[in-house]
Amino acid sequence: MSRPLRIELGGALYHVTARGDRKDHIFRFDSDRMTWLTLLGETCDRFNLAVLAYCQMTNHFHILLETVDGQLSRGMRHLNGNYSQYFNRAHGLVGHVFQGRFQAILCQRERYMKELARYIELNPVRANMMALPSEWPWSSYNATMDMVDGPSWLRTDELLAHFDSNRHEARLAYEEFVVAGMGGPSPLRAVSNQLLLGDEEFCARVADTRPEGNLMELKRSQRRAIARPLAEYFVEFRDPKEAMARAYRSLAYSMPEIAGFARVSVKTVSRAVAAFERTY
């Protein structure tokens, strides 16, 4: 089974989700939700993470967070692992609590931070669980609006600063922004390859970043999301055989795809790859 791609960057913004195994509930009682929040705070302290928004649903959760020094995977393994142990122990269960690994989307801060916070805090409204986000106590919305005291690990100042330098005015602007988004489209529709959310320039910058783990374990679509465009190989390498071989060795392109681009047969690509591997 292919594993999710992880691009670990310091100072990056991620939209993180995890879902219950077989779509089962991961929160049965308020005590479960409180335990998860405590563990999230511990995770932030230990792995230097900053939460900008969150929402606990019934069978999944959403977090919008920053990785100060690139410890996303370690932090989420800590959170999900410890919560799974608690949940099974508390409810007399065994086995997986979560459906596989968590999903993390690397997001362009300037373009999507506000939209993602709104999307996350509107989840209960979108699911027809509540009429207003303020009616759902298990998200960051009420703390952001200063209706309740928020935990120290929730960085409401950073989110509100994108609306106004005055906190009162910022809250009013954010409230208006959230209401305007009710019934609107999800920003996640623009996600590229279940991996990136940003404009072309942002995605190009990320393409130079090497992901954590073994590329062979990734879906080809995700390898391609961080790969160089196929045409660049033929510009950089004068020998077309070397260009074809290097493109294939990137793991992002199949031999038929390379053959179609270069207008040669698949056998020609195969021979070029074999010759390259004997030489290098």
Tell me, what DSSP letter sits at residue 228?
P
Interior CA angle at 1 toward 95 and 215, to 5°? 125
- Record the pTM: 0.75
Average pLDDT over residues 74-96: 97
Tell me, what DSSP letter sits at residue 237?
-
| Rounded Cα distance, 31 and 87, in Å | 10
61 has which bridge partners? 18, 56
Say if 212 falls within a structural domain: no
Residues 150 and 21 placed together within one structural domain of the fold: yes
Residues 38 and 122 placed together within one structural domain of the fold: yes
Q: What is the pLDDT of residue 213?
A: 47
Average pLDDT over residues 13-19: 96
Q: What is the pLDDT of residue 69?
A: 82
Residues 239 and 160 placed together within one structural domain of the fold: no
Place of tokens 């681009």: 261
Say if 196 falls within a structural domain: no
Q: Are 109 and 13 in contact (CB under 8 A)?
A: yes
* pLDDT 10s digits, 242-265: 999 888 877 677 788 899 999 999
Supply the CATH number for residue 168's domain: 3.30.70.1290
Say if 58 falls within a structural domain: yes
Final residue belonging to a domain, choices 143, 173, 190: 190
Domain residues for the domain of 126 are 12-190
Provide the token pair at 263. 């207008």
Q: What is the pLDDT of residue 137?
A: 98
Residues 153 and 235 placed together within one structural domain of the fold: no
Of these ranges, 120-134, 200-214, 220-234, 264-278, the one predicted with the greatest mean pLDDT is 120-134
* pLDDT 10s digits, 135-194: 999 999 999 999 999 999 999 998 999 999 999 999 999 999 999 999 899 999 998 877
Residues 143 and 274 placed together within one structural domain of the fold: no
Say if 215 falls within a structural domain: no
Residues 183 and 235 placed together within one structural domain of the fold: no
Q: What is the pLDDT of residue 215?
A: 46
Say if 4 falls within a structural domain: no
Q: Are 33 and 104 in contact (CB under 8 A)?
A: no
Average pLDDT over residues 189-214: 74
Give the residue, 182 or 3, on which the prediction is more confident: 182
Q: Where are the alpha helices (DSSP H) in 122-254?
A: 123-126, 141-144, 156-160, 167-181, 200-206, 220-225, 230-236, 240-249
Say if 261 falls within a structural domain: yes
Q: Is the pLDDT of residue 209 over 70?
A: no
Residues 53 and 180 placed together within one structural domain of the fold: yes
Least confident of 34-38, 88-92, 259-263: 259-263
Say if 195 falls within a structural domain: no
Average pLDDT taken over every residue of the chain: 88
What's the domain count of the chain?
Answer: 2
Say if 155 falls within a structural domain: yes
Residues 26 and 158 placed together within one structural domain of the fold: yes
From the CB of residue 29, how many other CB atoms can be counted at a distance below 10 Å? 11
